[in-house]
Chain A
Amino acid sequence: MRERALNKWLIGAPPLLYLVVFFAIPTLIMVAASFRYAGDFGGLAPVFERSEDGGTTLNLTLENYQRFFSDALYAQLFLKSFGYAVLTTVFCLLIGYPLAMLIARSPKRHRDLLVLLVILPFWSNFLIRVYAWMIILGPQSVFVAAFNSLIGLAGLQPMRLLFTPFAVVVGLVYVHLPFMVLPLYANLEKHDPALLDAAQDLGASAWQRFWRVTFPLSLPGVFAGGALVFIPAFGIFAIPDILGGTTGIMIGNVIKQQFLDTRDWPFGSVLSMILTLTAIALAAATAWYARRERALA
C-alpha cells in the first residue's frame, strides 16, 4: 500500500505540478491583479509600497471594479457580446439540429464517417476558417455581388457585409458549429426508435413526434451543445477583430486592448474575471438544469 501511494505521487505529481505552475498560479495572479493598481508604464504597480518612514503599505483597491460598474459602456459591451453569443448559439442549434438528427438516423456504418465530416473542418486552422469568410463576405466577392443584385430587385440599396456585426455572427456560427452537432448527435443516437413508432401508432403527426418526443428527450444535448458554443463565443476576440471592423467589437477585443495596447492590466483582469465568472455561472446553470431534467425523466 505504501508503494501504491508512492507510485500515485510519482505519476501524478509531474503533470499536477506543471498545471499548478502554468495554469493555476497564473490564474490566481490574474485574480489578484484585478485588485491592484496599474504601473506607471503599464503592467502592474508593486503590491507593497515602502513609504519614507520605513513602513510598508499594501496597495490594493476596488477601483478597477468600480470603474467597470460606473461606466455603462462596459456593461453595454458585455450585453452586446452576450447577444452575439446567444445569436450564435441559436443559429448553431438551427443548423446543427437537422444535421445531428440525420447522422443519428442514418445506418450505423455511415455514422462514423458523417461525424468525421463534421469534425474535419474544425481541425483546420482557426484563422483560416475566419479568413475564408473574409473572402466570401469581402467587397470583391461574387457572393456579395449576387446578394446585392438580389436585394436590388427588392429595391434595397447594396449592403456592405464584411466588417459588420453580421459578419461576426456568421464567423462565430461557422467556427462553433461542430461543438453543437457532436453533443446533439451523442444524445439523439441513444433515442429508442420504438418511442417514435409508438407515437405514430397513437396518431401523432411528424411534427408532433418531433416536438413532443424527440426534442424534449434531446434537451440535455441541446444544453450541452449550447454551453459548448456559448462559452467560447462569448469571450472570443479574433473573429470580431478580423470580421467585425469597428462596429462589431466584443468584450474579448477590449480585454486584448487593455493587455496589449493600453496596458492597463488591472482593468483588463477585471474584464477577464467578469467574463470568466459569467461563463462559469452559465455552465453551472446548464449543468444544474440538465441534471434536473434527467432527474425528472
Chain B
Amino acid sequence: MKRRSLWLWAAAVLAYVFLYAPLVIVVVYSFNDSRLNAQWVGFTLDWYRKLFADEEMLTAARNSLVIGLVASIVSTALGTMAGYAMYRYKLRLLPILVVAPIAIPEILMGVSLLIFFVGINLTLGLISITLAHIAFCIGFVAIVVRSRLAGMDESLVEAARDLGATPWGAFRLITLPLIMPGVIAGALMAFTLSIDDFVVTYFTAGADALTLPLKIYTMVKISVTPEVNAVSTLLMLLTLALIVVASRLAPGALRGR
C-alpha cells in the first residue's frame, strides 16, 4: 500500500507542477530586464511602466472593465431569475437554453452571434460584445443560484407565508438574503468570464473595439514582449482576488463549472 501511494504522490505532484509552472514562468519573466523570455538578466518594473504608458492597452482595459461590469450586472439579474424559476417551477425550455451555451463549442456561439448582429444591422462593437457576454454568463449564474436554492431550508419560506407574508415579501425577506452569497458568487463568476473571454469577443467585436484579451491576442500574434507577461500577471492577480472573494461568499460555488 505504501509504495503504491508513493507512486501516486509522484504522479500527482508532477501534474500540479504541469498546472502551475507555466503560469509561474509568465509571472517571473514579467520582471525580467530583457526583451526576450529567455535568460534571466535582472529585475525590472519597466514592463509594467510601459503597460501604463500604452494608450491602447489602457483603452482595452477600460473597455473590458465596462463590459464586465454591465454584463455581470445584467446576467446576474437574469441568471438569478432563471435559477429561481428552474428551482421553483417545472420548465422545459429554460433549462435547455441555460445549459446549451455552456455545452456547445464556443466558436459556434461566436459565429452565430456574428451572423445575427450583422443581420439585424447592429454595428459590431462594445454593445454587441456586451450582449454576447450576457448570453453566455446567464447560465453560469443560474447554475450557481439554483444549487444555492437547493441547499436552502424550504420550511423558512413556508413559515413566513403562514405568518402572512406575501410571496414577494417572503422572497425579499427570506429567500433573497439566504441565496445572496450564491448571487454574489455568480456575479463575480460572470465578471471573470466576461473579462477573460476571447473567442466570443473575437467574433462579435468588429474592427475597432478592443478588450484586454483581444489586445493580448494581437500582441501574442504580432510582437511578443514581456509587456504581455506584465498585463497577464495583473490580470491573474485580479482574477485571483475575485476568486478569493467568491469562495469566501459561497464555498463550493466555484465547482459549478
Contact = CB atoms under 8 A, between A and B. Distances in A.
Contacts of B239: 123-125
Interface stretch (A52-60, A62-70, A138-146, A150-158): A138-146
Given A26-B115, A283-B103, A133 B22 contact: yes
Interface residues of B, number: 83
Contact of A15 (B22, B85, B100, B167): B85
B183 interface: no
Dominant SS among interface residues on chain B: helix
A135 B25 contact: yes
B232 interface: yes
Interface in A246-289: 252, 255-256, 259-260, 265, 268-269, 272, 275-276, 279-280, 283
User: Which one of B36, B116, B118 has the highest number of Cβ atoms from chain A below 10 Å of its Cβ?
Assistant: B116
A7 B216 CA distance: 45
Contacts of A30: 108, 111-112, 115
Dominant SS among interface residues on chain A: helix
A130 B228 CA distance: 12
Contact of A98 (B8, B103, B220): B8
Interface residues of A, number: 83
Interface stretch (B46-54, B55-63, B74-82, B154-162): B74-82
Given A125-B239, A134-B224, A237-B199, A22 B113 contact: yes
A-B complex: 10 closest residue pairs judged by Cβ atoms: A235-B105, A132-B22, A98-B11, A26-B116, A12-B85, A140-B38, A15-B82, A26-B112, A102-B12, A30-B112
Contacts of A275: 105, 107-108
Contacts of B224: 131, 134
A220 to B, nearest CB: 18
Contacts of B203: 256, 259-260
